[in-house]
């Protein structure tokens, strides 16, 4: 028998990026717009805010004096990242809706200092964000592998690569609040399917508080949030050949006290009809008619625990900032929940 040469060891590149959007994503925008703009109460899902300009505007929102969630969540991470690193012993951080990963660095620092960090997996719809943050982070953390996934986390969670050791799945920024309650629990169940016995979810949630504070956070004095809200109309004009006049719509942010969520809407300043060319769709707006562009649910401890429980998860520890504005919840699968799917 001939001696066989052992295969060459395969060296993993520091950066690997996969995109799962392309044509399917354009169809999803078209489907969402057709569905949303023909409803009795018009609506466009918030994921369509985030083209490169929308992502840049969101970064500016995070710096605004009225927008406390980013600062509060960062404070929690700065105080507690070391503890989170110890509790989880995580080798990998998967981050859903990773954006610029600016707060994430606090967590990466702690995992790095603990000596466990090996891989970061950012998942975001905005391609430029995933690419830029991959190259920045591999520079900042020598030896770190970044496996970027350009994808819609509502449709492509199964594309998250198999775990490379104990993992944290982080969903920060309060983005979970963009889901209405039923979809939120369904989505948490899908996240739970990414977790094995040694893995954790780290979930950022904005907390219920004085409506005036909440409304100011979504309607700042400089008008950056208004610009961010109207940016979705630019996306529709560019991607679907719509002819929205941005000045025809004003930004509205109201706290719905019954559901305890903020609603962002665009209100038509005058009665008019716009056309979405690619869908051959005329859309009539009456004067004062409002179109919903985002809900952002606010949480109590009971609401978070109810959602975790419905998703087969259990609380490990909850952390809040010094003013009690925001919560970061560390959770894991309940012992009797079925094992990680596909891994
Ligand atoms: C509110 S920002 C939060 C960014 C960052 N995690 C933070 O805490 O500052 C939401 C991020 O989620 C991304 N995003 C929104 N909907 C998404 C979806 N359906 N799939 C993947 N990414 C999405 C956006 O591109 C954006 O980067």
Q: How far is the CA of 97 from the centre of ligand 1 (A)?
A: 3
**pLDDT the model gives residue 5:** 57
Tell which residue, 306, 308, 316, has the closest CA to residue 337. 308
Q: How far is the CA of 319 from the centre of ligand 1 (A)?
A: 22
Three-state DSSP at 307 gives helix
d(CA 193, CA 342): 8
| Alpha-carbon radius of gyration of the chain | 21
**pLDDT the model gives residue 24:** 61
Residues near 305 by beta carbon (within 8 Å), at least 6 away in sequence: 315
Query: What residues line ligand 1, using a CB cutoff of 6 Å?
Result: 47, 50, 55, 58, 70, 97-99, 103, 124-126, 129, 152-154, 172-173, 175
Residue nearest to atom 14 of ligand 1 (CA): 97
State how far the alpha carbon of 251 is from the alpha carbons of 35, 121, 219, in Å: 22, 34, 8
Q: What is the pTM of this model?
A: 0.93
Q: What is the pLDDT along the chain (343 residues), one digit of tens a residue?
A: 455 555 554 445 799 999 988 766 667 899 999 999 999 999 999 999 999 899 999 999 999 999 999 999 999 999 999 999 999 999 999 999 999 999 999 999 999 999 999 999 999 988 889 999 999 999 999 999 999 999 999 999 999 999 999 999 999 999 999 999 999 999 999 999 999 999 999 999 999 999 999 999 999 999 999 999 999 999 999 999 999 999 999 999 999 999 999 999 999 999 999 999 999 999 999 999 999 999 999 999 999 999 999 999 999 999 999 999 999 999 999 987 765 544 4
Please state the atom number of ligand 1 nearest to the C-alpha of residue 152: 20
Q: What is the largest CA-CA distance in the chain?
A: 85
Please state the atom number of ligand 1 nearest to the C-alpha of residue 62: 9
Our mutation pick for probing the ligand 1 site, out of 107, 175, 217, 231, counting the most ligand atoms within 8 A of Cβ, is 175
Q: How far is the CA of 56 from the centre of ligand 1 (A)?
A: 12
Q: How far is the CA of 123 from the centre of ligand 1 (A)?
A: 9
Q: How far is the CA of 3 from the centre of ligand 1 (A)?
A: 53
Kindly tell me the number of DSSP H helices and DSSP E strands found in the chain.
Answer: 9, 13
Q: How far is the CA of 284 from the centre of ligand 1 (A)?
A: 30
Query: Which tokens sit at 235?
Result: 């996306």
Residue nearest to atom 6 of ligand 1 (CA): 98
Q: What are the residue ranges of helices labelled H in the chain?
A: 23-37, 52-63, 68-88, 104-113, 127-140, 181-192, 211-217, 224-240, 301-310
The residues that bridge with 262 in the sheet, in sequence order, are 255, 296
Q: How far is the CA of 54 from the centre of ligand 1 (A)?
A: 11
**pLDDT the model gives residue 21:** 83
**pLDDT the model gives residue 53:** 94
């Amino acid at each position: 028998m001939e001696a066989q040469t052992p295969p060459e060891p395969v060296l993993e590149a520091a950066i690997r990026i996969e995109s799962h959007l392309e044509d399917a994503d354009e169809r999803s925008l078209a489907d969402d717009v057709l569905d949303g703009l023909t409803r009795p109460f018009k609506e466009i899902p918030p994921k369509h805010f985030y083209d490169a300009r929308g992502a840049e505007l969101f970064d500016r929102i995070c710096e605004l004096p009225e927008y406390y969630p980013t600062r509060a969540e960062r404070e929690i991470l700065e105080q507690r990242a070391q503890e989170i690193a110890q509790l989880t012993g995580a080798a990998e951080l998967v981050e859903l809706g990773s954006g610029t990963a600016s707060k994430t660095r606090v967590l990466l620092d702690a995992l790095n200092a603990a000596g466990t960090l090996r891989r970061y997996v950012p998942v975001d719809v905005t391609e430029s964000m995933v690419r830029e943050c991959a190259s920045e982070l591999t520079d900042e953390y020598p030896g770190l592998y970044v496996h970027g996934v350009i994808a819609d986390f509502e449709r492509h969670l199964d594309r998250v690569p198999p775990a490379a050791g104990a993992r944290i799945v982080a969903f920060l920024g309060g983005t979970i609040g963009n889901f209405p309650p039923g979809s939120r629990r369904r989505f948490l169940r899908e996240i739970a399917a990414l977790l094995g016995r040694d893995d954790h979810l780290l979930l950022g949630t904005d907390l219920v508080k004085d409506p005036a504070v909440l409304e100011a956070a979504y309607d700042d004095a400089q008008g950056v949030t208004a610009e961010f809200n109207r940016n979705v109309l630019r996306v529709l004009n560019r991607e679907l050949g719509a002819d929205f006049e941005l000045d025809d719509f004003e930004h509205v942010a109201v706290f719905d006290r019954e559901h305890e969520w903020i609603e962002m809407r665009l209100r038509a300043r005058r009665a008019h009809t716009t056309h979405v060319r690619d869908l051959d769709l005329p859309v009539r707006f009456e004067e004062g008619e409002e179109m919903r562009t985002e809900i952002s649910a606010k949480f109590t401890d009971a609401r978070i625990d109810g959602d975790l429980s419905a998703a087969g998860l259990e609380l490990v520890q909850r952390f809040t900032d010094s003013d009690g504005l925001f919560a970061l919840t560390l959770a894991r699968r309940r012992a009797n929940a079925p094992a990680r799917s596909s891994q």
